[in-house]
Amino acid sequence: MLVGQAPGPAERESRRPFSGRAGKELDRWMLRAGFENADEFRRLTYIAALMRCFPGRNRAGSGDLRPPPAAVANCAHWLDAELRLLRPKVLILVGQMAITRFLGPGPLEERVGHRFGARPVMVPLPHPSGQNRWLNEAHNRDRLASALHLIAQLRLTLAPPRVSASNS
């Protein structure tokens, strides 16, 4: 299971999570984590968000508004119900808001590249938005690579085996 922040304008139109530019980057990350393609990642991963509706654009028009705490709290029962129903083995936390929701406050530098918990195992990632400047630092790109390696390891131990066309 993956938990993000909130849908953006592309998601509002497509009704599909991570369907905009950030989603394309997330798909590239998941290829690095060992998924065959974006379809496989999305077929095997339930995607949820802290806030269920688009919070709007910021005043400068250069990005989306941060979901307000009251709106996140208002939507929390949906996420809590999904967690109870799905009981995920792995929880990929995308962005500081999702990371804080599950791990409490703390810098990305101390979170990304590490795993937390046992059931579910939580793997924090930075937000894949083009507005995110955190990955401009080489050390942070290394942290992302470590996080994607963790996801790859977890995928190998927890995912159903791949079936090739010749075996089916």
Predicted pLDDT of residue 11: 79
Three-class secondary structure of residue 122 per DSSP: strand
Residue-wise pLDDT tens digits, 87-145? 999 999 999 999 999 999 999 999 999 999 999 999 999 999 888 899 999 999 999 99
Once rounded to an integer, what is the mean pLDDT over residues 49-68? 79
Residue 144 in domain? yes
Quick one: which of 14, 42, 105, 18 has its CA closest to 6? 18
Residue 166 in domain? no
Does residue 15 surpass a pLDDT of 80?
A: no
Q: What is the pTM of this model?
A: 0.87
Task: Please report the DSSP string for 55-111 in residue order.
Answer: --B-TTSSSBPPPPHHHHHHHHHHHHHHHHHH--SEEEEESHHHHHHHH-S--GGGT
Contact call for residues 27 and 72 (beta carbons, < 8 A): no
Beta bridge partners of 116: 122
Query: Cα(1)–Cα(94) distance, rounded to whole angstroms?
Result: 11
Predicted pLDDT of residue 36: 95
The percent of residues in the chain predicted with pLDDT above 70, rounded, is 92
Range of the domain at 70: 2-161
Residue 99 sits in a domain whose CATH number is 3.40.470.10
Residue 104 in domain? yes
Q: Report how many domains make up the chain.
A: 1
